[in-house]
């Protein structure tokens, strides 16, 4: 039984190879395109190819060629915004080709890709706009929300502790949180965990506790990296945000040191 099945498979493969070899013979290909294999010249070949080309110059095929050019252009682009624009142009022409040629599958495929590319392009443009306004002091994080996911905490929950492995950044939406090491409350609209993204070993730099039922938005460091590589302007914007936090921490520490020095001087004056 096994030998019979082996013979059958072998014979089938041989037939397939023989048929493929026969179909790929140059003489048969020349006959298929309307040329005489026994009387072939460069002029005859050129004229026949020209006839085929002219016969296929239709509006649908022109749209297909233009769409293909835009598609190839997307493979050569290094930044996301031009890539999305070229992709939308290519999808438009290829959808027109599908409509004119009656190819429903092609029409549906590229029509569906248009709104997806449009939404992503809009998100990227908003991201770039926010990045460019970062130098003017706009510290809003609204632009990042479409890339984040919602999470809820209850009063007393510890989000993370100092020294824990860090893999995401959080944005407070409602409720209050306490940075225990420096006894600072974080109101809605503040970032948490962004410094762990910049530390060499991705470790938490503080302990965060939830003071009341709250809601946050989270984004992983991997997603942040994706956004950075898609739009390098985001890198500058993020550095501005984290630099502001570092400067606030430095100012807070300087205030604490100044208070301690003032207390020490006051104590020395009382002893004197």
CATH number of the domain bearing residue 207: 2.60.120.10
Tell me phi and psi for residue 212, to 5 degrees. Answer: -155, 165
Mean pLDDT of 134-151: 70
Most confidently predicted of 23-32, 42-51, 215-224: 215-224
Q: Give the residue ranges of DSSP H helices in 168-232.
A: 221-230
- Residue 248 is assigned to a structural domain of this protein: no
Average pLDDT, the chain: 80
- Residue 174 is assigned to a structural domain of this protein: yes
Q: Which two tokens stand for residue 177?
A: 């949180």
182 with 212, same domain: the answer is yes
* pLDDT given for residue 127 in this prediction: 74
- Single out the residue in 33, 57, 81 at which a domain terminates: 57
Q: Which two tokens stand for residue 125?
A: 């443009």
41 with 101, same domain: the answer is no
pLDDT digits (tens, 9 = 90+) for 168-187: 999 899 999 998 888 888 88
- Residue 72 is assigned to a structural domain of this protein: yes
Domain count, the chain: 3
154 with 217, same domain: the answer is yes
- Single out the residue in 101, 132, 163 at which a domain terminates: 132
- Residue 256 is assigned to a structural domain of this protein: no
* pLDDT given for residue 210 in this prediction: 94
Euclidean distance between CA atoms 192 and 88, whole angstroms: 37
Q: How confident is the model at residue 3 (pLDDT cuts 50, 70, 90)?
A: very low
Strand 149-153 relative to strand 214-220, pairing: antiparallel
146 with 220, same domain: the answer is yes
* pLDDT given for residue 184 in this prediction: 84
Q: Which domain holds residue 200?
A: 142-224
* pLDDT given for residue 271 in this prediction: 65
65 with 120, same domain: the answer is yes
83 with 120, same domain: the answer is yes
* pLDDT given for residue 133 in this prediction: 62
Per-residue pLDDT at 4 exceeds 60: no
Which percentage of the chain shows pLDDT scores above 70?
76
pLDDT digits (tens, 9 = 90+) for 214-258: 999 999 988 888 877 776 666 776 777 777 777 877 787 788 788
* pLDDT given for residue 270 in this prediction: 66
152 with 124, same domain: the answer is no
Contact 122, 114 (CB under 8 A): no
153 with 220, same domain: the answer is yes
204 with 148, same domain: the answer is yes
Per-residue pLDDT at 194 exceeds 90: no
- Residue 74 is assigned to a structural domain of this protein: yes
41 with 86, same domain: the answer is no
- Residue 137 is assigned to a structural domain of this protein: no
* pLDDT given for residue 2 in this prediction: 45
108 with 39, same domain: the answer is no
Q: Which residue has the higher pLDDT, 73 or 41?
A: 73
Per-residue pLDDT at 27 exceeds 70: no
The residues with which 192 forms a beta bridge, in sequence order, are 170
pLDDT digits (tens, 9 = 90+) for 86-133: 999 999 999 999 999 888 999 999 999 999 999 988 888 877 776 666
* pLDDT given for residue 201 in this prediction: 82
Tell me phi and psi for residue 220, to 5 degrees. Answer: -75, 155
Mean pLDDT of 123-149: 70
Q: Is the pTM of this model over 0.75?
A: no
- Single out the residue in 84, 109, 132 at which a domain terminates: 132
DSSP 223: H
* pLDDT given for residue 154 in this prediction: 93
* pLDDT given for residue 94 in this prediction: 93
């Amino acid at each position: 039984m096994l030998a019979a099945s082996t013979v059958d498979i072998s014979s089938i493969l041989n037939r397939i190879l023989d048929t493929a070899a026969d179909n790929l013979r140059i003489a048969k290909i020349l006959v298929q395109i309307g040329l005489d294999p026994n009387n072939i010249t460069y002029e005859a070949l050129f004229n026949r190819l020209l006839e085929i080309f002219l016969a296929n110059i239709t509006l649908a095929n022109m749209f297909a060629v233009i769409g293909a050019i835009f598609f190839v252009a997307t493979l050569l682009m290094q930044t996301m915004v031009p890539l999305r624009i070229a992709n939308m142009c290519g999808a438009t022409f290829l959808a027109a080709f599908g409509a004119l040629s009656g190819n429903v599958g092609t029409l549906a495929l590229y029509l569906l890709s248009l709104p997806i590319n449009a939404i992503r392009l809009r998100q990227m443009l908003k991201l770039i706009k926010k990045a460019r306004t970062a130098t003017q002091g706009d510290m809003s994080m609204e632009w990042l929300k479409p890339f984040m996911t919602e999470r809820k905490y209850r009063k007393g929950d510890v989000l993370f502790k100092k020294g824990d492995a860090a893999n995401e950044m959080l944005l407070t939406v409602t409720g209050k949180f306490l940075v225990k090491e420096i006894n600072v409350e974080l109101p809605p609209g503040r970032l948490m965990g962004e410094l762990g993204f910049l530390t060499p070993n991705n470790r938490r730099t503080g302990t965060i506790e939830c003071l009341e039922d709250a809601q946050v938005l989270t984004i992983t460091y991997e997603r942040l990296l994706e956004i950075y590589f898609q739009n390098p302007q985001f890198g500058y914007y993020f550095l501005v945000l984290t630099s502001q936090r570092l400067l606030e921490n430095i100012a807070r520490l300087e205030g604490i040191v100044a208070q301690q020095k003032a207390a020490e001087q006051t104590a020395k004056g009382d002893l004197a």
